[in-house]
Amino acid sequence: MRHTISLLVENEFGVLSRISGLFSGRGFNIESLCVAESLDPTVSTMTIVTTGNDAILEQILKQLNKLINVIKVVDFSEIDYVSREMVLVKVNAEEKTRPEILRMVEIFRGKIVDVSSRSYTIMITGDEAKLKAFISLIKPLGIKELVRTGPIAMARGERMLKIKEKTDIKGGESNG
């Protein structure tokens, strides 16, 4: 099963390699990983999409928590959340196909962020399903290049990722 996990980590050098090393060393999958500084410059937020059964996910969460630089871990499987990803697509744009591309970009509320004589570079944001739909529709027109960010995620409503709750997760969760 697929899971989206969010982490708060110390914004220090080497933290990313600790996390990626944990996944590779223990044979866990990473489908995507997004990381950047949070509102607090000493903290980075990471969003990881991973796959595995319940036992593997439990280990992933516990092992992440065990890393000294990890402040908080949240698994979105049990939380209502929004998740968004961005994709940049460079497509063939010939005279014939340009109106079709523009229509499609409009329908998907995307943007054309770069134009050349033979190509458009399109930016689309959305959830996975939307990006997938857009990509499959634009594919026949000739995709030259495609780059995705991987999703970032946030809980809906008043729930927030806050610091200092790591012990709660550690003790509470594992104590059932």
Q: Which residues contact other proteins (rule: CB under 8 A)?
A: 9-10, 14, 17-18, 21, 25, 55, 58-59, 62-63, 65-66, 68-72, 163-164, 166-167, 170-171, 173-176
- What's the closest the beta carbon of residue 63 comes to other proteins, in angstroms? 5
- What's the closest the beta carbon of residue 55 comes to other proteins, in angstroms? 7
Nearer to other proteins by Cβ, of 84 and 166: the residue is 166
- What's the closest the beta carbon of residue 53 comes to other proteins, in angstroms? 12
Which residues have C-beta within 8 Å of that of residue 89, sequence separation ≥ 6?
A: 121, 122, 124, 134, 135, 138, 143, 145, 146
HEC letters along 130-159: HHHHHHHHHHHHCEEEEEECCCEEEECCCC
- What's the closest the beta carbon of residue 2 comes to other proteins, in angstroms? 21
Nearer to other proteins by Cβ, of 46 and 101: the residue is 46
Q: Angle 166-56-12 (CA atoms, 0-180°, nearest 5)?
A: 40
The amino acid at 157: G
- What's the closest the beta carbon of residue 174 comes to other proteins, in angstroms? 4
Nearer to other proteins by Cβ, of 66 and 132: the residue is 66
d(CA 14, CA 159): 29
Q: Are strands 152-155 and 111-115 parallel, antiparallel or unpaired?
A: unpaired
- Classify 70 as helix, strand or coil: strand
The CB density around residue 126, as the number of other CB atoms within 10 Å, is: 19
Nearer to other proteins by Cβ, of 18 and 98: the residue is 18
Nearer to other proteins by Cβ, of 54 and 106: the residue is 54
